């Protein structure tokens, strides 16, 4: 089974901090994605990557950046955390055009 | 504009009965549809999918129906069990292959014992 591992299940950060959310997959998938899930808003795409060093903006990229230096790792960066970035963050990977495998999620609280 | 819509935020069903979760889409270029199930504090897990060349796909207690002319799909769970209580997301993929999935907002299913 593909494993997608998110480094933290729960994080609490202060407003203005730079926050790194890490995601690692172990099946050589080309595509990786970052979503956030909020009540009533579903899953919203932040950024995605088709390959190493490639990145594309999703629907809500403002306030975020990403890094993909190695195929297995896709990092989401909150440049200066704000309270409206409190959310559940979900990483996913995919080989080609098929469905995703998601990580367990990181519940981020910004205070 | 929402391309994938799940108009029912929540649904309650008695154990043993049928659960029907609905999903509508607007983009006629979608060619593959998936359902994901999500428990609290966990990532979504893949449940079942259907290609646009089919109108039905069945896997155990789960069946997905696709009506292309109405741009509508539904997930049937028979019989419903308390462990099915979760949020269900409908997702769609465009026919250019590598594009990201587009998700609906989800429907919270509660199966009452």
Q: Closest partner residue to B43 among A41, A58, A102, by Cβ?
A: A102
Cα gap B70→B105, rounded to integer Å: 20
Low-confidence ranges of chain B (pLDDT < 70): 97
CB contact under 8 A, B34 and A31: no
Cα gap B7→A39, rounded to integer Å: 14
CB contact under 8 A, A102 and B104: no
- Mean pLDDT, range A24-52, rounded to an integer: 93
Confidence of residue A2 (pLDDT cuts 50, 70, 90): low
pLDDT in the model for residue B99: 83
């Amino acid at each position: 089974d593909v494993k997608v591992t998110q480094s933290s299940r729960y994080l609490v950060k202060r407003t203005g901090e730079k926050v790194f959310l890490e995601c690692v997959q172990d099946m050589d998938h080309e595509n990786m994605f970052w979503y956030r899930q909020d009540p009533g808003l579903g899953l919203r795409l932040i950024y995605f990557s088709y390959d190493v060093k490639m990145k594309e903006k999703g629907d809500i990229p403002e306030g975020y950046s990403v890094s993909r230096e190695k195929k297995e790792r896709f990092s989401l960066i909150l440049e200066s955390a704000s309270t409206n970035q409190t959310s559940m963050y979900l990483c996913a990977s995919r080989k080609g055009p098929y469905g995703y495998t998601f990580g367990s999620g990181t519940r981020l609280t910004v205070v | 504009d929402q391309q994938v819509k799940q108009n029912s935020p929540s649904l309650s069903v008695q154990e043993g009965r049928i659960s029907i979760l609905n999903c509508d889409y607007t983009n006629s270029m979608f060619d593959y549809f998936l359902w994901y199930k999500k428990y609290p504090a966990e990532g979504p897990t893949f449940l079942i999918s259907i290609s646009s060349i089919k109108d039905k796909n069945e896997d155990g207690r789960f069946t997905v129906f696709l009506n292309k002319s109405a741009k509508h799909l539904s997930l049937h769970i028979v019989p419903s069990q308390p462990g099915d209580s979760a949020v269900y997301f409908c997702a769609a993929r465009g026919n250019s292959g590598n594009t990201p999935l587009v998700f609906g907002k989800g429907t919270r299913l509660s199966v009452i014992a």
